[in-house]
Amino acid sequence: MSKYPDKRLIICTKEYTSKTCKQCRYVKNNLGEDKKFKCNKCGLIVDREANRARNILLKLLSQ
């Protein structure tokens, strides 16, 4: 029996979550060592971890 019976577990893969622009959805395959995500398509510059977290959230909400 689950410790939290009224909760559900959702498993999400992290594929492309750090490589995808949160604004225009462009996939940038070569991220390098930079801590910032710089989109080649729309010009967005954002913290790479914040970009990844938002993309994971969007992935979960679309399931």
- For residue 39, what pLDDT is reported? 97
pTM for this model (two decimals) = 0.75
Confidence class of residue 14 from pLDDT cuts 50, 70 and 90?
confident
pLDDT surpassing 70 at residue 2: no
Instruction: Please tell me the distance from the alpha carbon of residue 21 to that of residue 42, in angstroms, as a whole number.
Output: 9
Residue 9 corresponds to which tokens in the numbers above? 């577990």
Query: What pLDDT is stored for residue 1 in this prediction?
Result: 53
Q: How far from 17 is each of 6, 8, 9, 42, CA to CA, in Å?
A: 28, 22, 19, 17
Q: Any idea of the CA torsion for 37, 19, 56, 2, to the nearest 10 degrees? A: -130
* Chain centroid to CA 40: 17
Query: Where along the chain do its domains lie?
Result: 13-63
For residue range 31-59, what is the model confidence (pLDDT) as tens digits? Answer: 889 999 999 999 999 999 999 999 999 98
